[in-house]
Amino acid sequence: MVVTEDVELPEFEDLKTKEVKVSAATLITAGPYIGKQCEVINNEFMLCRQEHGDPRPCLALGKQVTACTMEVLRRMKKYCLEEFKQHANCVDKSSGDYSFRHCRKTQSVFDFCMEDRLCVRRPEFGYFTRGRVHSSNSKAPPPPPCPCHPKVEDATPELPECKKPYKKPRFGGRIYWSLE
């Protein structure tokens, strides 16, 4: 997006929010639970960004997504801190790509704690890849006043139909390893 004099940028006070300052291993460990519990507000935020094509009208929703993430992390810290720390440490130290494959034991202990104390189950495998319909209460934005990209007619003329019959190549095709 090109910023010109006509573009109104938000003030710094509008952008201020409490940030989630945690490591990558912590976010990867908590990610399935954050994704599941903050799914509705996150979908609303992404829908707003998609419809507007600009994140500025969606700042309030972005702050709600951050607040939801902070709340999930606070609840984890309050009820399952030791299990969470062990699992996050395992994910951080056991592989170079933050893989879960070496940490299934600590994951099962952490998942049991989340289910037992917070009544939250880990989403099953493939949950976030399934297509779902999000029903929103917000109104769709009005269409833009003019198209940003003018429509240009296709300047390439169509090729004429070839009336000659196609003959097989005399010495075979270029793909010499294929079976005929």
Tell me what pLDDT residue 113 has: 96
For 149-164, what is each residue's pLDDT tens digit? 677 777 777 777 777 8
Q: What is the mean pLDDT of residues 90-104?
A: 92
Distance CA 76, CA 82 (A): 10
Q: Retrieve residue 70's tokens.
A: 């902070």
CB 44 within 8 A of CB 78: no
Structure tokens at 146: 């003019």
Rounded Cα distance between 59 and 52, Å, is 12
The pLDDT tens digits for 32-57 are 999 999 999 999 999 999 988 888 88
Q: Is the pLDDT of residue 104 over 90?
A: yes
Secondary structure letter of residue 135 according to DSSP: P
Tell me what the mean pLDDT of segment 6-28 comes to: 89
Residue 132 backbone dihedrals phi, psi, to 5 degrees: -140, 155
